[in-house]
Amino acid sequence: MTSSPACNTYMPLLSPYIDGELVPGERISVERHLAACKDCTMRVADLRAESGLLRVGMELAADQADFKDFAQKVMARITPDRPPLFERWKLALSETFLYQRGTVVTAFAGAAVMLLVALPLILRERPPVGYAGERMLVQSVTVDDEAHVAPVVLETSAGNAIVWGVHHLDEAKPAVAPEDEATDEELEQEAAPASPDDTKLKQDKPKGGEL
Amino acid sequence: MATDDLTLVKRVRSGDQRAFRLLVERYQRKVYSVALGMVRDREEANDIAQEAFVKVYKYLDHFKGDSSFYTWLYRITVNICIDVLRKRRGMKGVAVEYDETNQVGTSEANLGALGTRLGTNPQKSALRKELAEKIQEALEQVPEKHRAILLLREVEGMSYEELARTLEIPKGTVMSRLFHARIKVQKILSEYLELDESKSGVGSE
């Protein structure tokens, strides 16, 4: 195929034309020529097709490559001998804050929220001291032989019972108050119906033990 | 937002190797593509791409920052490829002549062969595997300087200004070299299409 002198002039401009690298004056001139020249219009179509074909063809070729270990291999080739431990820690710490700042902030925020939620729960769950405690150990039980004692039984929803020995102020039969009323209050038994009979109390003097 | 190249380069200089890994991951595919287009051997292209990054790391202090990082990276890649090809030629004893002043017979190309057969949808056409392979074969047949400029323009999408800086040639030379390279590849591809069309009609949409 032969080309006209005008085509020979414009042909070298067609390549920069499809690349958008012509100055506006040249571009307008080329476009005027293209409007009048079917051959150069086909040349432009060829150049564009070739350009796209090369691009896609090379992308297809690169798609077949596996880059999974590529960066690791490069890093292995450039990594110097291991620096001292302190330097490694320092670098690891600075890199963590540099590249995983978001993760670090999120982790700290999460930990703070968890602490705020968990702390009151932990404090609330702590078993209270005294009668409300789940378990308590009775060290000793002392009953004054002369005391006139009446039991008060408090049953709990858990099936336990708290038994108080109450000094009954009976005018007809004045009793001798126990030396230490608080000692009576230590008398706590698990689901054990206490006998109101103080004679029994006298006979079966309770021993200390775990409730 | 991704950290820009120059910031990563500064971090690498201060001893942050993680920053260099990010640069490798950012450009590994493109560097490999250029190397593959140049040497047309997957294993060799992989070695060249690795070598390019190792050199970049080694000579990072020489990078002035007056051009973009990737321009510098591609220049190193192309130079390694040219060295490899020269060694390969030396082993085979074949010399490839390259003369910038050679006039290309544009009239020899089968005018409209690519444009009319491939249309404007290269994706559709290039999905044909044999055509993609033919492109690599066509690239192999053109001088390495033509190959390099074509790959950097088409695969990397470099502007003429960037091509001039990467290949260290005047902008006018970029324009003429690219034009000649395209005409040569076009001729090879259109001949292939014509030949193949007569056999099996591969070129038709």
CATH of the domain at B114: 1.10.10.10
Closest Cα of chain A to B66: distance in Å? 22
| Residue from the list B28, B139, B150 with its beta carbon closest to the beta carbon of A71 | B28
**Is the pLDDT reported for residue A192 higher than 60?**
no
Q: What is the dihedral of CA A27, B189, A50, B170, to 10 degrees?
A: -60
Does the residue A80 lie in any domain? no
The region of weakest confidence among A48-52, A86-90, A143-147, B18-22 is: A143-147
Q: Which of B60, B92, B124 is the last residue of a domain?
A: B92
Contact at CB, B113 and A2, closer than 8 angstroms: no
| Domain total in chain A | 3
**The predicted structure's pLDDT at residue A147:** 67
Query: Where do we find the tokens 């990467």?
Result: B166
Residues A120 and A142 in one domain: no
| Residue count (chain A) | 211
At A206 the pLDDT is 53
Residue A52 lies in a domain: yes
Find chain B residues with C-beta within 8 A of A78's C-beta.
17, 20, 53-54, 57-58
A142 with A119, same domain: the answer is no
Q: Is residue B80 part of a domain?
A: yes
Mutate to test the interface with A, among B129, B135, B188 (most CBs of A within 10 A): B135
- Contact (CB, 8 A) for B15 and A94: no
Please tell me which residue of chain B has the smallest CA distance to A94.
B16
CA-nearest of A71, A3, A183, A18 to B109 is A3
Q: Answer with the residue of higher pLDDT: A209 or B41.
A: B41
Contact A55 B185 (CB under 8 A): no
Cα–Cα nearest to B104, from B187, B191, B189: B187
Co-location of B121 and B190 in the same domain: yes
Residues 24-53 of A with CB under 8 A from B: 39, 42-53
- Nearest Cα neighbor of B63 from B28, B25, B20, B18 is B20
Per the domain annotation, does B98 fall within a domain?
Answer: no
User: Is A65 in the B-facing interface, judged by CB distances under 8 Å?
Assistant: yes
A22 touching chain B per CB within 8 A: no
Same domain membership, residue A53 and residue A12: yes
Give the C-alpha distances (Å, rounded to integers) separating A133 from A10, A126, A193, A211. 100, 9, 20, 10
Higher pLDDT, B86 or A208: B86
Residues of A in Cβ contact (< 8 Å) with B127: 60
Question: Are residues B113 and B183 both part of a single domain?
Answer: yes
Do A105 and A152 lie in a common domain?
Answer: no
Q: Is residue A71 part of a domain?
A: no
Phi, psi of A38 (to 5 degrees): -70, -35
- Kindly determine whether residue B53 and residue A74, on different chains, have CB atoms separated by under 8 Å: yes
pLDDT of residue A20: 93
The angle subtended at Cα A96 by Cα A93 and Cα A102, nearest 5°, is 140
**Which of the pair, A155 or B96, is modelled with greater confidence?**
A155
Domain ranges, residue B55: 5-92
Out of B57, B92, B127, a domain closes at: B92
Domain of A110 in residue numbering reads as 85-124
Across A115-121, average pLDDT: 87
**Looking at the structure, do residues B85 and B155 belong to the same domain, yes or no?**
no
B202–chain A Cβ distance below 8 A for any pair: no
Is the pLDDT assigned to residue A26 strictly greater than 90? yes
Q: Could you tell me if B189 and B134 lie in one domain?
A: yes
Does B85 lie in the same domain as B155? no
pLDDT confidence bin for A120, thresholds 50/70/90: confident
- Same domain as B119, residue B86: no
Whether B69 and B9 have beta carbons less than 8 Å apart is answered as: yes
Indicate if B124 and B154 belong to the same structural domain: yes
Instruction: Tell me the average pLDDT across A132-142.
Output: 65
Taking only residues 89 to 108 of chain A, the set having a beta carbon closer than 8 angstroms to any beta carbon of chain B reads: 91, 94-95, 98-99
How many domains, in total, are found in chain B?
2
Nearest alpha carbon to residue B122 among A115, A132, A59: A59
**Does one domain contain both A204 and A145?**
yes
Indicate if A119 and A149 belong to the same structural domain.
no
Task: Note the pLDDT tens digit of each residue in A27-71.
Answer: 999 999 999 999 899 889 888 888 888 888 788 778 878 888 899
Clarify whether residues B13 and B85 are in a common domain.
Answer: yes
A73 domain residue, yes or no? no
**CB spacing of A53 vs B122 below 8 angstroms:** yes
Average pLDDT rounded to a whole number, residues A89-112? 83
Residue B204 in domain: no
Please give the mean pLDDT across all residues of chain A. Answer: 74
pLDDT for residue A210 is more than 90 = no
CB pairs under 8 A between A and B: 172
Which pLDDT does position A66 carry in this prediction? 84
Same domain, A111 and A174: no
pLDDT at position A183, please? 45
Q: Which band of pLDDT confidence, cut at 50, 70 and 90, is reported for residue A163?
A: confident
Residue of A nearest to B113 (CA): A46
Where among A124, A147, A175 does a domain terminate? A124
Domain CATH for B23 = 1.10.1740.10
Decide if B160 and A73 are in contact by the 8 Å CB cutoff. no
The reply to whether A94 falls in a domain is yes
Backbone phi, psi, residue B99, to 5°: -130, 115
Distance from CA of B64 to the nearest CA of A (A): 21
Residue A51 shares a structural domain with residue A94: no
Q: For position B195, what pLDDT does the model report?
A: 58
pLDDT score for B49: 95
Q: Are residues A59 and A24 in the same domain?
A: yes
Q: How do the pLDDT tens digits run along chain B, 205 residues long? A: 678 888 999 899 888 888 999 999 999 998 999 999 899 888 999 999 999 999 999 998 888 877 789 889 999 999 999 999 888 877 665 444 444 444 444 444 455 656 565 555 555 554 556 666 777 788 888 888 899 999 999 888 899 999 998 898 999 999 999 999 998 888 888 777 665 555 544 333 3
A124-130 mean pLDDT: 62
What interface predicted TM-score (ipTM) does this complex get? 0.76
Contacts of A138 (CB under 8 A, 6+ apart): A186, A187, A188, A206, A208, A209, A210, A211
| CB within 8 Å of chain B, chain A residues 105-164 | none
Which of these, B23, B25, B39, lies nearest to B151 by C-alpha position?
Answer: B39
Same domain, A106 and A51: no
Whether the CB-CB separation of B117 and B205 falls below 8 Å is answered with yes
**Would A180 be classed as within a structural domain?**
yes
Tell me, yes or no, whether B173 and B146 share the same domain: yes
Same domain, yes or no, for B20 and B68?
A: yes
pTM, to two decimals = 0.59
Q: Say if residue B111 is in the same domain as residue B191.
A: yes
CA distance B77 to B84: 11
Whether residues A120 and A152 fall in one domain: no
